[in-house]
Structure 1
């Protein structure tokens, strides 16, 4: 069942500050787009993961096609860029309502942001986006937010360098974005020491089966049993997890050596320069090649400096990801130091495969950010500016 209809928007936002924020984006060369509020639901489920379903406001058209109120603006803006055939590179901005069940606040809230498509100078584009996020915070009275930085591309490069079964690689990469990869490492190691699970016979029977047919079989069995959700997961998610476990059991778990390398990597954090030195030392000690990914990381740090980013305010963590499946490189969040647990003020990252997954011919680099204007408006400095 979809969440209840969203409550009317009641967040404390200052129109003058919102207009100033949009003007800042325009001055940087980002043209305004306003995509439709009603969007096809399958696009978000395919690109953001089935876990987003429980937070979406869903409906259907007369033909039964599943639709939703847009839960974010990155995907609608990307679809609009493709639909309008915009020339690359394309720089677009947005400001408007999004609709997502959050629990802690109204289901309708406003977001502003920018998306940069088609730039091949990856490191400079990343630094510009982070700089625009910092400018947004400064506009609302917070010139020095906490900067949390991660890198999906580095973690992907590490997985590519390790002897992992494809199913294990997919599992770890998916869990990385959900922030639970450390927990799953422990669980996977525990399972490797356990005996066969009670459903080992079913898993063995599925090993090597056609994935689509096996998924349909499991889905049908769950439906016949009257199971629609378990622990918040849909039948589709349960089937996917079951098939994943079948593949993992057939291919074995993590070796101790691989698990140790992953654990050591995920424990690294600090300033970008310190973290880079520790990652290079780990790679050399483990005999794996991360040079290309780390060279990009270091070049981006150099561009941060060129964009006047205070590196001492940047807290990089190898274990930091964001819960959207389409991120492929840098990810970041900007937080109020006075309220570190209140959620990000601004967040974003790189997603080089997003447009191709939406139908573009070939990969088109992309990076962007979203700003929660209701949270920015709640800053003490913003309240003073609005008076």
Structure 2
């Protein structure tokens, strides 16, 4: 899809409407999902931690419902229920979302784009970033900081390392939770310290096993004992816990693997600089990440082709947005020198539609725009007379 220049915003509502119109004129269909949504997809895909931020209710059948806390999942669900499911289709949207935010209003406007079914992922990623920048420019903001990353690079690294399966799953799962990832790496550093407890026989039997073997063993043991859960934990949760303990006991991670992970997570710079550092690291470690690195290089080329100044883009291998469903490219746009909360943010989430019920994989990428944040940043910039610097 090609994109026409977005009109300059003259106010919050008018600017958002004009921006949405420009997306629609470029071929993005307007999506208007229901405000009341099933709560289960949000809890499953964003984690139970989001529960405290949701506005929940229960219908007469006992199904838990919520006011939509964002629009990505609702738009994706409507796409899957439509006759065009599986086909390349782009949607744009503007509407209220509802989420407890402490001191901020719990109802606020969100705009954005979701693109489903495109196979040219590098080009689609670059298009999302370009459109996000056009959204900030439409509100008169050009002093924008571009922060990017790629969770697929970390997943490729962990997959290439010689780790026990339980730690591969855990590290990839915790990538977007920086505190959890740091704790994992700390535990891995201490993994050579022997762990002694009353389950040593079972732990020794599980050491190095995969999840399927561990689940089978724990299921058999619990069946013999006549139990289906312990302390509210399911058989699968108990099996995972035993796997973690057995992995720690056996010395889970070689020192060179831990060194490589930490060196990987320390890489920052422009996308070109980061790519060069990544190729050097993987070559010295004799790891094959060529597929993920080639995709990054291709994305950089498409970004440049769309007029984005690559030297102004910040790339970090440790960058993540805190949401489990991202699978690749991620980005945030911030006003330079001002704040941790993004004005525009998004990325690639190829696994989401499968988790929502699609029988076949469907590529997906998109971004959200926080209208009030953009309007406030625009007002602040006008009040201070801040000169913009083009991104």
* TM-score between the two structures when normalised by the length of structure 2: 0.83
Task: State how far apart, in whole Å, the 1-side matches of 2:123 and 2:15 are.
Answer: 27
Task: State how far apart, in whole Å, the 1-side matches of 2:80 and 2:174 are.
Answer: 30
- Going from structure 1 to structure 2, the CA distance change for 1:67 and 1:162 (only over 3 Å counts) comes to same
Task: State how far apart, in whole Å, the 2-side matches of 1:104 and 1:219 are.
Answer: 44
- What corresponds to 2:46 in structure 1? 48
1:140 touches 1:381 (CA, 8 Å); kept in 2? no
For residue 247 of structure 1, the aligned residue among 243, 246, 250 is 243
Which deviates more, 352-361 or 198-207? 198-207
- What corresponds to 1:329 in structure 2? 328
Task: State how far apart, in whole Å, the 2-side matches of 1:63 and 1:156 are.
Answer: 40
1:206 touches 1:246 (CA, 8 Å); kept in 2? no
Check if 1:126 corresponds to 2:122: no
Aligned-residue RMSD, C-alpha: 2.9
**Matched position secondary structure for 1:93:** strand
Task: State how far apart, in whole Å, the 2-side matches of 1:218 and 1:102 are.
Answer: 42
- What corresponds to 1:306 in structure 2? 305
**Matched position secondary structure for 1:355:** helix
Deviation, 1:155, is 0.9
- What corresponds to 1:354 in structure 2? 352
Task: State how far apart, in whole Å, the 2-side matches of 1:196 and 1:326 are.
Answer: 34
- Aligned counterparts, 1:209-358, within 5 A: 209=215, 221-222=230-231, 244-251=240-247, 252=250, 253-341=252-340, 343-358=341-356
Deviation, 1:179, is 2.4
Task: State how far apart, in whole Å, the 1-side matches of 2:47 and 2:382 are.
Answer: 40
- Going from structure 1 to structure 2, the CA distance change for 1:64 and 1:285 (only over 3 Å counts) comes to same
The superposition leaves residues 298-327 of structure 1 with CA deviations (integer Å, 9 ceiling, x where unpaired) of 010000001111212211000011222111
**Matched position secondary structure for 1:53:** helix
**Matched position secondary structure for 2:318:** coil
- Going from structure 1 to structure 2, the CA distance change for 1:330 and 1:205 (only over 3 Å counts) comes to same
- Aligned counterparts, 1:49-64, within 5 A: 49-64=47-62
* TM-score between the two structures when normalised by the length of structure 1: 0.84
Deviation, 1:164, is 1.7
Task: State how far apart, in whole Å, the 2-side matches of 1:191 and 1:310 are.
Answer: 43
Q: Which stretches in structure 2 are left out of the alignment for 5+ residues? A: 1-10, 207-213, 384-391
1:57 touches 1:68 (CA, 8 Å); kept in 2? yes
Which deviates more, 289-298 or 352-361? 352-361
Q: Which stretches in structure 1 are left out of the alignment for 5+ residues? A: 1-12, 224-234
**Matched position secondary structure for 2:330:** strand
Deviation, 1:154, is 0.9
1:188 touches 1:254 (CA, 8 Å); kept in 2? no
- What corresponds to 2:63 in structure 1? 65
Task: State how far apart, in whole Å, the 2-side matches of 1:374 and 1:327 are.
Answer: 25
Count of residue pairs brought into register by the alignment: 359
**Matched position secondary structure for 2:374:** helix
For residue 86 of structure 1, the aligned residue among 84, 87, 103 is 84
